[in-house]
Amino acid sequence: MTLAAVVGLVATVAIPAFAAVRGETAEAQTLQQVAASNAQSLVVGSEAAPAALDRSGFTATTPEEIQKKKDQEAAEKAAAEALARRLSAASSTASSSSSSTYSDPIPLVAPGSGLVRRPLMSFNNFGTPYAGHRGTDYMVGGGTPIYSVADGTVVASSESGPGWGVYVKVAHNINGVNVTSLYAHMTYGTRAVQVGDTVSAGQLLGQVGDTGRAFGTHLHLEIVVDGTYVNAENWLVTNGA
């Protein structure tokens, strides 16, 4: 009790004295008032409000509903795996098979008339010529049907020609002129004619491939007129194909 009185007295005397030393006039304050003046305060904004709990991501389900959901997910996973297996099997079959990649039914005879026909119903572009290359390369997808450019007789038909891969060669007599046409790089197993067969203009001979010395699927067409190699495309155009 006496100690508290002394402390109070010291505070009452000390504070005015301190102010007097500084040349200031100060109102006497107790320690409790000083502490109250320096105390920190917390201001809560009027707009502050607790965030509402979003319950949209939470659902209450029964054991039956949980099991149904699991069964559905398992069925979807099994279906996806089965589809992946089918696609993988189809891809493997396509890469290992020599069958055509041509999707449409293959006509046995090309449309059109005339002594000379085009060997392809369509193609993308010509290959780049190079020294020693005696034919014209028609760039086109694998499996595209190849047709005889004119009436004639098959004089060669092989699955393993020297550099040509699978090829067919036909001898023609067009208005008294001896012409031979050679169709190279066909797909294995697609030759539709054999040596000695008589063919008509526009008759199916085989399908485009990349066998032999070939880079990419295309038809390598050689035209020889009276023993002389000629530009195949120019010859076709000249003869109205």
Task: At 157, list the tokens.
Answer: 């038909």
Report pLDDT digits (tens) over 56-109. 445 557 888 788 778 777 776 776 676 566 555 544 433 443 444 676 789 999
Q: Which helix (H) or strand (E) holds 111?
A: none
Which pLDDT tens digit goes with each residue over 5-63?
444 444 444 444 444 444 444 455 555 554 455 555 444 444 445 555 454 445 557 88
DSSP 53-86: P--TT-----HHHHHHHHHHHHHHHHHHHHHHHH
Residue 123: pLDDT over 50 = yes
Report the pLDDT value the prediction gives residue 113, as an integer from 0 to 100: 87
Evaluate if residue 191 carries a pLDDT over 80.
Answer: yes
Question: Residue 167's pLDDT is what?
Answer: 98
Compute the C-alpha angle 119/216/88, nearest 5°: 110
Q: What is the CA radius of gyration of the chain?
A: 48
The mean pLDDT value of the chain amounts to 77
Q: What is the dihedral of CA 166, 171, 175, 176, to 10 degrees?
A: 150
Which of 60-69, 198-207, 213-222 is predicted least confidently?
A: 60-69
